[in-house]
Each structure stands twice: as C-alpha cells, then as structure tokens.
C-alpha cells in the first residue's frame, strides 16, 4: 500500500532548519553487509537528518547471490536487502524517498515490485507516475515552519540502466514532465519559484565542466570515457568546494537530452546531485547550478576506500541557496582501527567500468608480450651459447 497520503507533510523545524542525507550505491543483494550498516548507523546517529534521499543502486542486481535459486528465492533476497536497509530509518522515524540506479534495474524483480516494498513503509515519500517513462519520477515538497507554503522542493528522476557499454539517456517525456511539474508548482506558489534540487543516479553530462583537461602524464590525471576518450582530466580545484575528492571521470550517457538546460530555464534549480560514480565526492557550480556527487556508501562493490560515505545538506528556510553540504566518510564516522576487510580492498582495485578496465587489460597484454619476447630471446641466446660450447668441446 502506498502510504504517501497518510504520512504527515515534511516541514522545516521550528528553528528554520532542515537536514537531508543523500545515500547512494549501497549495492547489496542478500541483506546488508555489516560494515555498510555500521557506516549508515553512525551517519544517521551523528548527523540526525530530517529526511533521507537514496540515489540509486540500493540493490546490486548483478550480484552473485542472485545467480542461484528460483525466481521466488531471488526476489526474497532483494526484499531482505531493502527491508534491512529501510529498517534503519524505521527505527529512527526518518522519512525517505528514492530513485533507481542502473543496478536496481538489473535485478530479477521489476521496478514496480521493488516500489511496492518501499511503499510498505509509512514514512516513504516516493510516488510512481506510470505515465512518465521509468519508475518513481516524482517530487517531494518541504513546507515552511510557520505555514503550508512550499519552501523547498526535490525532484527525483529515474536515469534508467545500461545501454551496451554506455547508459541510456533520459526520455524526452521525463524532461517535459519536469517542466510541467515545475511550472505548476510556480503557479501554485503565486508565481514565485520554489527553490529546488534534483536527485538522480547517473550524472548529467555538464558535470565534466568541474574537471580540468590536462596533458597525458599529469599527476593524478585520468582518461575520460567514451565521448571523452583520449582526453585526460583532473578535478578543477578552482571550481569545486574544499574537501572535494575525485577518483573517476563521469560515466554519463553519450547523448545529452537537455535536462541541465531545462533546469536553467526558470531560475528555480539550486542544485543537482548524483551517485553512480562511486569514487567521487565533490561539488561545484556550473552555469549557476550546483552539481555534485555522494560517494558509494556500500562495501560490496568498488569504492574510495574509507572515503565511502554519505552527503549531508543543511538548509535554512530563509535562504535556501545559502545551504551547507559536505560528505561524511567512513573514516570520519568510525574508529581509526576500523580497517577494511580484505574483500573490500579487493573490490577497490576493481576497475570502475569497461572504459577504466581497458587500459589495465592493454598494459597486461603488453607486459605479457614483452615478457614472452624476452624469454624467447634469452632462450635463443642461451641455446646458441650452449650449442657453441658443445661444438668447441
């Protein structure tokens, strides 16, 4: 049952503050691994958010535990994962919403069935709009502390799944839904824009503008993927906030459908935040809109070591644009001796994508080829010397 119509509306606190926590890329598929639970519980207890936004890949749809068993058994594992995750919020009475990531779409359980699990929870704020492509495209309003006028608005969009070695672009109907919903909200608010943030799993292409193109061989430089292949980048510290970190280039769709351009049309969009690229924890301003990432919060896929974590937003009702945001990491939240298990360290050496794996494969092939050639040459040389010694004798 969808409990959306029975829960109380979200509202700024009496002191005019509202705290949001973005959690991304938990990526489990048979319950939640204990280290992920420890990280999330510490984050929830220390930051005390008023609202949680999951930005996709709650489920590791390709995970090995889902390779075996009947369809019913696989669905039970996904259900166990989501119920374990959401129980952390239920116990603390924290409302939440979510969007899907590409690996939620990989799961052997439909998006509609997954949504039904979320909707069992009384504090779930997510809706599904069946007339809009994808799942759970919706908005969540936060009302003012003293009246029922919307003071802050969140858009959640489904950024779909893989498309060969890349990712599917948004459907034009989703962008039109955003425009229509935005304009309706402005009309309902007496012609005034409602300060808004958009959350989805896969980033918009424009986030590449927070990187700086550099020469190959520059310290810390990484090669771009697909449409940026052959170009090398580092994070632009003049455009990004203090404390930002980057471990990979954006893995965005190859086709830009114009969501960012639409978000700039009415001046309502303050920020757009994403998951998907696990090793990234930065934000900065692009053409008047803040763009940024939450790093991976899960320990069953690759990630930035102990910089796995969550992103926190602290809003002030009287000036939404003057918000504070930062990443809280595993290293900050848990004790210094909470070392990573060996299997997590192994995950972190896993390439983040096919594009990232290809150079490693090519280097391995070159290494094997050079080693083989050296062995052949040495064998010929030593064989020739051995033959000469035998002849001389």
In contact, 291 and 4? CB cutoff 8 Å? no
Residue 364 has pLDDT above 50, yes or no: no
Q: What is the mean pLDDT of the chain?
A: 90
Beta-strand pair 283-286/289-293: antiparallel
Closest CA to 294 of 286, 350, 304: 304
Confidence of residue 312 (pLDDT cuts 50, 70, 90): very high
What is the structure's pLDDT at 261? 98
Residue 340's pLDDT band (cuts 50, 70, 90): confident
pLDDT tens per residue across span 240-289: 999 999 999 999 999 999 999 999 999 999 999 999 999 999 999 999 99
Tens of pLDDT, residues 159-212? 999 887 789 999 999 999 999 999 999 999 999 999 999 999 999 999 999 999
- Residue 380 confidence (pLDDT) above 70: no
Helix pair angle (71-90, 111-118), 10° resolution: 30
The phi and psi torsions of 234 (rounded to 5 degrees) equal -125, 165
Q: In this predicted structure, what is the pLDDT of residue 308?
A: 97
What average pLDDT does the segment 94-109 reach?
Answer: 97
The reported pLDDT for the residue numbered 202 is 97
CA distances from 103 to 25, 306, 317, 336 (A): 9, 22, 35, 31
């Amino acid at each position: 049952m969808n409990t959306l119509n029975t829960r109380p509306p979200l509202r700024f606190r009496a002191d005019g503050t509202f705290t949001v926590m973005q959690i991304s890329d938990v990526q489990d598929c048979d319950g939640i691994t204990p280290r992920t639970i420890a990280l999330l519980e510490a984050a929830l207890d220390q930051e005390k958010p008023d609202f949680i936004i999951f930005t996709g890949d709650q489920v590791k749809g390709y995970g090995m535990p889902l390779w075996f068993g009947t369809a019913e058994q696989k669905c039970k594992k996904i259900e166990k994962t989501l119920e374990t995750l959401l129980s952390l919020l239920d116990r603390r009475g924290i409302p939440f919403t979510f969007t899907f990531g590409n690996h939620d779409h990989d799961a052997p359980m439909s998006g509609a069935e997954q949504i039904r699990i979320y909707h069992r929870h009384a504090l779930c704020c997510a809706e599904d709009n069946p007339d809009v492509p994808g799942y759970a495209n919706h908005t969540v309003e936060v009302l003012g502390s003293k009246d029922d006028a919307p003071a802050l608005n969140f858009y959640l969009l489904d950024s779909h799944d893989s498309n060969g070695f890349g990712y599917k672009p948004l459907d034009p109907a989703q962008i039109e839904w955003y425009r229509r919903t935005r304009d309706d909200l402005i009309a309902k608010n007496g012609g005034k824009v409602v300060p808004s943030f958009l959350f989805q799993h896969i980033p918009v292409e424009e986030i590449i503008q927070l990187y700086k193109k550099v020469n190959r061989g520059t310290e810390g430089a990484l090669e771009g993927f697909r449409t940026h292949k052959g170009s090398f980048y580092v994070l632009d510290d003049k455009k990004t906030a203090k404390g930002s970190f980057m471990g990979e280039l954006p893995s965005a769709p190859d086709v830009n459908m114009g969501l960012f351009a639409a978000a700039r049309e009415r001046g309502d969009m303050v920020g757009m935040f994403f998951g998907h690229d696990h090793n990234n924890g930065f934000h900065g301003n692009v053409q008047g809109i803040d763009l940024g990432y939450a790093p991976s919060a899960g320990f069953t896929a690759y990630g930035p070591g102990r910089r796995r974590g969550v992103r926190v937003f602290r809003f002030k009702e009287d000036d939404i644009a003057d918000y504070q945001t930062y990443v809280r990491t595993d290293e900050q939240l848990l004790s210094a001796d909470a070392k990573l298990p060996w299997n997590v360290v192994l995950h972190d050496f896993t390439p983040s994508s096919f594009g990232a794996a290809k150079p490693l494969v090519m280097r391995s092939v070159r290494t094997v080829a050079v080693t083989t050639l050296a062995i052949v040459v040495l064998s010929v040389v030593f064989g020739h010397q051995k033959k000469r010694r035998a002849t001389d004798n």
